[in-house]
Each structure stands twice: as structure tokens, then as C-alpha cells.
Structure 1
Amino acid sequence: MKIQDYLKAHKLWVVSNVIVLFIVNSIYISTVVEYRSSDLLYMNGLLIIIQLSFLLIGFWQQKNKYNKAMKSSMEELEKMAIHDDDYIINMLYTLLQQQRFQHQNNEEAFKKKINEIQDYITQWVHDIKVNIAVCDLLLDETEDIKVRDLRNQIEQIKFRVNQTLYITRANHYSQDTVAERIDVGQVLRMAIKENALFLINKDITINTDLHHITVINDKRWVYYIFTQILNNSSKYTQKGGTVQINSEEDDHAYYIYIKDDGIGIPKEDLGRIFDKGFTGKNGKNVTKSTGMGLYYTKKISEMLQIGIDVKSEEGEYTAFTIIFYKLSDYFNIASNG
């Protein structure tokens, strides 16, 4: 609060004091037959000093209250409003109450709209999966030479539909997380099976050297992370390429390495592959990438307290490291559930 703001708020009080001073001077001059100018100046000076003193005292009191109110929480401000009859504190508290109420209403309306959209997307995904299943059955009855290419496209549609469902859930991941003991190797095999057709169509060999690893985490989301990384490997690995999957363990964590001998990631793109909507050179030239898969992979891994790192050499390889920290497991995940 500044002095000019205080004066603006109390301008009627200032004007009334000036009028009172003028009236006192008029009465003094009209009633005293022989008055001295020095006495008049002394009286005016004394009155002005008294008025300014009270004005400054009032300003400092209001300033202190205002500063305290601005630093207070809503609960502290409510206590101040109850125990202090100062109109500024009460007015500020009332305005903040109205603002909070309006914000809550807007937030609830926004959440309702978002939930309606998510419900629609979820229903749409389940409906379209029925149509895809029917297409699969029809293809099983067909011996046309183009069936393999068509089946590959249908598998791509399946993958994207499932990804849409996961992304929809990801915006409510705190309500959609279940901590459980999972076999990491088993989840990896499920993710490989999900991408099997993509890998087979490009004659990509999967080599695995995995230790038995059991962690406490969310099986469905860990599966999503592995599936997304393997799908990326299938996209950017040339025909006849290789994907090597290994595991290690130390005192701090379990490490899963997924390395392909594909086209690699340009150095200038490497630090941005987890950015939302970033497609990079490969995403534009090799595939029609949306730049959302790795963004949600990173987002979900952070939620699950899973580390994820990537190293790459353009034209040589890309290696993802998924890190399950031993000290993070159950309690961090349970607190998000």
C-alpha cells in the first residue's frame, strides 16, 4: 500500500479536515478584534501537525494490516476478518472468498467437460476395437497375397487405438495406478508380443539376456513404457536389424537396456525426444510420428518413479535404459495411487 492510495481511499476525511481548518480560521478572525498573524500561524501549524500525525498513524496501521493480509493464507485472513473490524480486511476477505468460489465453479465445470471428452474417447476406442476384431476374423478367412500388408496396417491401427486409450488414462494416472509385485521379464515378453508383427515384417531379431527381476510397480503402465520403446525400435530399425535386451543390477537399481542397431537419433534431436509433440528429423523423414508416444512414456515413468535414459549415435544405434530404483518402489507409488 502506498501513501497516495491511502489518501485516495480517505479523500473525504482529508477534505473535511481542510474545511474544518478553514472554518476555525474564519471564526478566529471574525471573533478576535485584534489578532496577531503569528498566533494565527501557530494555531494553523498546530492543527495541521495534529491532523498529519493522525493521518500518518492511520496510514502505517493500514499498511501493516494490508501487508499482513497479503502474506496470509485464506484461513489466516478469515481469522483476521473475524477478530478485526477493519473494513479493508473484511472487504479483501470477501473479495477473495468470491474469487475462490468462482474459481471452484469454473474448475468443476472444466473437469466435467474433460471427463465427458475422456468418457467419449474411451467408449470410441472400445467400439472401434470391435470393428478391428471383425477385420481380423475376415482376414483369417482370406488367402489373398495382399493380406500380409493389410494385416500390418490393422496392427498399426490397433497399436494407435490402444495408445489413445492409454493417453486418455494417463491424464488420470493418479486414480488409475495399482502397486503390485511384477515380473519385469514377463512384462517385457508381453510388450515384445504386442510388437511381434511389426518386428517380423521387417525381419528384426530380438536377442534377450535377462535376469529374474521382481519389482513393486504398476504392471499396466510398465507394459506401456516397454511397448512404446519397442515400437520405436521397430520403426527406426532397418530390415534384418537386431534389438538387444539386457538387464543388470547393482545396490541402487535394476537396469533394463533396449538397444537397436537402427538409424539412430541426430545429436541435435537427442535432448528433445521426450518433449511434447517433438518429431525431429527421423519422425518427419522416416515415419509420420506424432511426437506424443515418448512424451507420455517419460511422463508416466516419472509418475512411477522409474528412471529413463537414452543414448544414440546417428546411423549406428539407439539405446534406452529403464531404471527401477530399489528405494523408490512401494511407498512412492502407493502415495500416487
Structure 2
Amino acid sequence: MRLRDYIRSHKLWLISNAVLVLLTNGILFGSVPLGQGTADIVYMDVLLVTTQLVFFVYGYVKQKRTYARFLHDTGEKGRKTDPQGDFYTDMLTKALERQHKLFSEKEEEYKKKMNETQEYMTQWVHDIKVNLAVSELLLEEMENGHELRNQIEQMKFRIHQVLQMTRATHYNEDMAAEEVDVCQVLRNAIKENALFFIHKNIEIETDLKPFTVISDKKWVFDILCQILNNSSKYTPPGGRLTIAVREEERAYYVSIRDNGIGIPREDLPRIFDKGFTGKNGRSGTKSTGMGLYYAKKMAERLSIGLEAASEEGVYTEFTVIFYKLSDYYTVYSAIR
């Protein structure tokens, strides 16, 4: 830090002190006869100027050391201050630059760790799928293996869910806008979960009216699969699942309603919260509280509505809303 930088940054303070000295001298010289008390006034001026000069030098040395320490900490030792700039502005600019650099480094480190985790999880999922495929082949040679097959299907669903969750942090890299036949995707989702319904002898009634939207087929499939799997878990044996499509002016509504155990009123507003399991998740079936959270997250990303209504011990109904204005432009913007 140079002396002229310090002077420039304290210019107003120096001017104000000089004005005060001049005003004081003017008043004193005007209030005493000429030639009387002049020596005292000059002596006072010397004391004032010397005192100000001592404090000025002290402040300069102290601030110079502070600035040198700042440059050393920021790794910019030897860098000169902009002659046209302000000392404090220059320090603030350097501090912001340093913070931005540190933030960028931390961000890159975080991204690297996330990518490594995703790569590991993806590889783990594919490896475990091989083990499941071998288990299915062995299962075909067994008799009365219905319960074991059901457990294997549950494992496959959970593995798919893990893969889906690892991809969920990279939406922009894993989305494709296309024309989606929602009813056909819904039928595929029912087939994917068919074994769960068959195992519990759950009857499925459908009232489907074909319609298409511009969206991402894979993510729509995953959302519907998650809802159907939830229904299969919380509907007792011999229950019923009703799936219907209705069209209104603003949207298409896909409702999936079961006559299962329902959701307690106090839990209903929180079922889409991250990690929330609720009363039903803590008793009976095991739940991670992540499935509906990611389903909601994906739906919001695709500009799809997802709502739930329920009465404990009577029914649970999920409604997937495909807005007619949620067209190619909306999804394309989300991908970009």
C-alpha cells in the first residue's frame, strides 16, 4: 500500500482538519490585538499539526500492515492498487474475488463427489440386476415360489427407484421432450406392478380416455409406477384399485384410487416431504419416505400437477394433472 493511496482514501479527513485549524486561527487572530499572543497561537498550531501528523503516520503504518496481511492471506502479495481506484473498493473487490474463487473450488469438488457417487450407484444397480436375473432363472425351477418372486419384484422396484433417485439430480442431462401417450404409459406402469396386485388379489378397474402430451415418457412412467406401487403396498388383499381419466378445459386428470388403509389427516399435508414416512410408514410396511418426494420433484420439473386426497381407513386417491398449456415449450425450457 502506497502513501498516496492512503492520502487519497483519507482526503476528506485531512481537508476537514486543515479547515478546522484555519478557522481556529482566524477566530483567535481576530479576537486578540495584533502582535499580542501570536507566539501562543503558532505554538498551538505546531502542537495541533504534530498531533495530527503522529496519528496520520500511525494510521498509515497500521493500515499498511493490515493491507499486507490481507494480500498475503489472499495469495496476491505484491499486487499493486489501481491508481484510479479507491483503496477500500480495491480491498473489497479482492475479497469478493477470493470468496468467488473459493466458492467455485468448493462447487467443483462437490460436483465431482456427486458424479462419483452417481457412477458408483449406477454400476451397483447394474451389477445387482445380474444377480436378480440369475435368481429368477433359479426360481423358475422351484415350485410354489410366489412369495419369493414377489420379494424379488420388490427388490427390482427398489433398485429401479435407487437408479431413478441418482438420476434425479441430473434432470437436464436425462430428459427428452416427445409426444407421450399417457394411457399407454399408464398401462405399462400397471404391467410393471402387476405381480404386486396379483399377489394380493387386488382388482383393477380402469376408465381410460386416450390423450397425448409433450413430456418425458420415462419420467412420466416413473411417477405413475411410484403411485401404483404405493397403492399396492397400502391396499389389503382382495382390495380394489380404480384408475380413471377425465378431461376438463384446462387439463387432463388421471386419478388412481384405492380402498386401502388411507392416510391420517395430520400426515396428508406432508406425504411429499423428503424422508417423511408418517404413521403408515412406521407400522406395517417399511418405507423410506423418498418415493413420493422424488415423484413430486419430477412432476414439478415437468410442469405436471400431483395431488393427494385420503380418508383414513377408507381410501387414498392420487391425481396426476397434465395441463394442456404444459406443451413442448415448457418441457424444452426445463431441459435447457
TM-score (norm 2): 0.78
User: After the TM superposition, which residues 20-169 of structure 1 pair with which residues of structure 2 at under 5 Å, given as runs?
Assistant: 35-36=36-37, 40=41, 84-143=84-143, 145=144, 147-169=145-167
Structure 1 gap ranges (5+)? 1-5, 52-80
- CA distance in 2: counterparts of 1:226 and 1:187, whole angstroms: 8
1:292 pairs, out of 290, 293, 318, with 290
CA positional deviation for 1:82:
7.4
Q: Which residue of 1 aligns with 2:72?
A: none
Q: How do 1:136-215 residues align onto structure 2 when only pairs under 5 Å count?
A: 136-143=136-143, 145=144, 147-215=145-213
Equivalent residue letter for 1:255: Y
SS of the aligned residue for 2:270 comes to coil
* Structure 2 segments unaligned to the other structure (5+ residues): 1-5, 53-80
How many angstroms does 1:33 deviate by?
11
Counterpart of 2:280?
282
Q: By how many angstroms is 1:35 displaced?
A: 3.1
CA distance in 2, matches of 1:331, 1:305: 11
Instruction: Give the 3-state SS of the residue equivalent to 1:137 in structure 2.
Output: helix
Q: Secondary structure at the match of 2:272?
A: coil
| 8 Å CA contact retained: 1:204, 1:241 | yes
1:305·1:329 contact (CA, 8 Å) conserved in 2?
A: no
**SS at 1:288's partner residue?**
coil
Q: What residue identity is the alignment partner of 2:85?
A: D
Summarize deviations over 1:14-54 as a string: whole Å, max 9, x none. 7xx69x97xx99xx9xxx996338x949x97xx99xx9xxx
Stretches (4+) displaced over 6 A: none
Give the whole-Å Cα distance in 1 for the aligned partners of 2:121 and 2:221.
21
Q: Which residue of 1 aligns with 2:216?
A: 218
Q: How many residues are matched?
A: 287
Q: 1:82, 1:174 → 2: CA distance? A: 42
- Deviations 1:67-96 (Å, cap 9, x if unpaired)? xxxxxxxxxxxxxx9794211112211111
Aligned-residue offset at 1:208 = 0.4
Percent of paired sites with the same residue: 57
Could you tell me which residue of structure 2 aligns to residue 251 of structure 1? 249
Mapped pair 1:237 → 2:235: yes
1:170 aligned partner, one-letter code: A
Match of 2:303, as an amino acid?
Answer: Q
Q: TM-score, normalised by structure 1?
A: 0.78
Q: Distance in 1 between matches of 2:316 and 2:83?
A: 65
Amino acid aligned to 2:202:
I
Look up the match of 2:58.
none
